[in-house]
Amino acid sequence: MLQKSPRRIRSGQSQFRRNEDGATAVEFAILALPFLMLVFNTLETAYSFAGRQMMAHAADSVSRQFRTGQMQSVDKVSLETMVCDRIKLMVRPGCPDLIVDMRTAGTFAELTQVQIDRDGKIVGDNYKYEIGGAMEKNMLHVMYKWPIFTDLVGRFAYQMPSERGKMLIFATAIWQNEPF
- The predicted-structure confidence for 123-142, as pLDDT tens digits, reads as follows 878 888 888 888 999 999 99
| Residues 55, 50: Cα–Cα separation, whole Å | 9
DSSP-derived secondary structure for 72-106: ----HHHHHHHHHHHHTTTS-TT-TTEEEEEEEES
Q: What is the dihedral of CA 84, 86, 91, 93, to 10 degrees?
A: 50
* pLDDT at position 44: 85
- The closest alpha carbon to 180, from 80, 73, 61, 108, belongs to 73
pLDDT in tens, 130-180: 888 889 999 999 999 988 887 666 555 667 777 778 888 999 999 999 997
* pLDDT at position 74: 81
pLDDT in tens, 94-110: 999 999 999 999 999 99
Say what the pTM is: 0.76
Domain boundaries, the chain: 21-176
| Residues 139, 176: Cα–Cα separation, whole Å | 9
Q: Determine the average pLDDT of the residues in 5-16.
A: 56
Confidence of residue 16 (pLDDT cuts 50, 70, 90): low
Residue 17 pLDDT greater than 70, yes or no: no
- The closest alpha carbon to 63, from 144, 179, 141, 133, belongs to 141
% the chain with pLDDT above 90: 41
Give the chain's count of helices (H) and strands (E).
5, 3
* pLDDT at position 11: 55
